[in-house]
Amino acid sequence: MIPTDFRLKMQTMYGDAGDDWITDTEDLMESLKDRFQLTYGEPFSLSYNFVIPVQILQERAVLKIGYPNNDFSNEFHALQDFQGKGMVKMLDYSQEEGWILLDRLMPGSSLLSIEDETEVLSVFSHTAKRLWHKPVSTHPYPTVESWSKGIGRLRERFNGGTGPIPQELVAKAEALYPELLSSSTDLYLLHGDLHHGNILYSDSSGWTAIDPKGLIGEREYDCIQFMLNEWEKWDAPLELLRYRTETIASLLSLSYERLLQYGFCHSILSASWSVEGGLDGWKTGVSLARMFEELLAE
């Protein structure tokens, strides 16, 4: 039931603890199958949680089993706090056992299925507007400030240097992040990873978000991951980035300049995370940071 590549990923990430979690997950699935009379489908493409479509009698749903860490705890609380407003609904859950039963969004096509950029931006903005609200939970969500410390870890890794990421770009992000954070006045509960693949169409609910990370920050920050996605296929990516920024600022009444500034900072943060994870995605982060820098200079 659990794919071999997912097993290997969890074993690589967590060692013996990952191996034990896989065994526990298999046992849990058997227990849930009997408890709720579940019929399992084929697992979805998996990242760091085990996610599989299920059928409960005549009702379609999705079972998500998460590795017991802060990321899964944050997602669990975010799903509760968003209360199904623009977000997929929780049908049942057990935080203690580490599983969530979610509404199955049908047909479930993602925002990637739309080619017209104007329509894509309209859908994104409508979904984001439905989602965002002031924090009401006492759960200690991560903040944009805590995320920004990833750049500091880059310095630690390279004994004060910046590794493969250009020094001047890192220094600029290190100076700009505190300026943005100190002038932040309107903080919201954000999705944290609101990109094309995490917005799905449902016949019953319309366009709906999935897989929230849960993050506290300004609304501008929650637009950045979307703006960083799906740009490589465009002949003029700088023009695309400018168009996205202008349109999002207009549709959501956000600051054009802060969108660009956060975009620059998060591009460097994303590059730092890639270096930290031993990946070469830092090159994309650097390319995007330079584009944001060019737009800021206009």
pLDDT digits (tens, 9 = 90+) for 218-258: 999 999 999 999 887 788 999 999 999 999 999 999 999 99
The predicted-structure confidence for 101-110, as pLDDT tens digits, reads as follows 999 999 999 9
Statement to judge: residues 82 and 175 lie in one domain: no
Question: Of 76, 83, 79, nearest to 98 (Cα)?
Answer: 76
| CATH at residue 280 | 3.90.1200.10
Q: How many CB atoms are located within 10 Å of the residue 256 CB?
A: 15
DSSP-H helix ranges across 143-197: 144-148, 150-157, 167-182
The whole-angstrom separation of Cα 261 and Cα 268 is 11
Instruction: Supply the mean pLDDT for the chain.
Output: 94
The CATH number of whichever domain residue 74 belongs to comes to 3.30.200.20
Token readout for 246 is: 């202008």
Show which of 104, 119, 154 is a domain's final residue: 104
Residues 76 and 123 in one domain: no
- Model pLDDT for residues 114-146, shown as the tens digit of each residue: 999 999 999 999 999 999 999 888 999 999 999
147/55 same-domain check: no
Are residues 73 and 126 located together in one domain of the fold?
no
Same domain for 96 and 117, yes or no, is no
pLDDT cut 90: percent of the chain above it: 82
CA distance 17 to 68: 10
Q: Tell whether 143 and 184 lie within a shared domain.
A: yes
Two structure tokens written together for 23: 């065994």
pLDDT band at 84 (very low <50, low <70, confident <90, very high): confident
| Span 250-283, pLDDT tens digits | 999 999 999 999 999 999 999 999 999 888 889 9
Number of domains in the chain: 2
Domain that holds residue 88: 4-104
Q: Are residues 69 and 132 in the same domain?
A: no
Query: Domain ends where: 74, 104, 134?
Result: 104
Helix (H, G, I), strand (E, B) or coil at 213: coil
Residue 46's pLDDT is what? 66
Q: What whole-number percentage of the chain has pLDDT above 70?
A: 100
Torsion of CA 86, 33, 2, 44, to 10 degrees: -30
In the listed set 75, 104, 133, which residue is the last one of a domain according to the structure? 104
| Tens-place pLDDT, residues 30-43 | 999 999 999 999 99
Strand partners, 45: none
Residues 82 and 139 in one domain: no
- In whole angstroms, how far apart are CA 273 and each of 154, 159, 213, 282? 8, 16, 16, 8
Output 277 or 75, whichever has higher pLDDT: 75
Give the three-state DSSP class for 83.
Answer: coil
Sign of the Cα torsion 284, 285, 290, 294 reads positive
Closest CA to 263 of 224, 232, 226: 224
The count of C-alpha atoms lying within 13 angstroms of the C-alpha of 255, restricted to the half-sphere facing its C-beta, is 17
Tell me: pLDDT of 69 over 70: yes
In this prediction, residue 217 has a pLDDT band, given cuts at 50, 70 and 90, of very high
Same structural domain, 24 and 137? no
Summarize the confidence of residues 157-181 as an average pLDDT: 97
| Same-domain check for residues 190 and 289 | yes
Residue 1 has what pLDDT? 77
Do 154 and 11 belong together in one domain? Answer: no
Co-location of 243 and 115 in the same domain = yes
C-alpha to C-alpha distance for 293 and 176, rounded to whole angstroms: 12
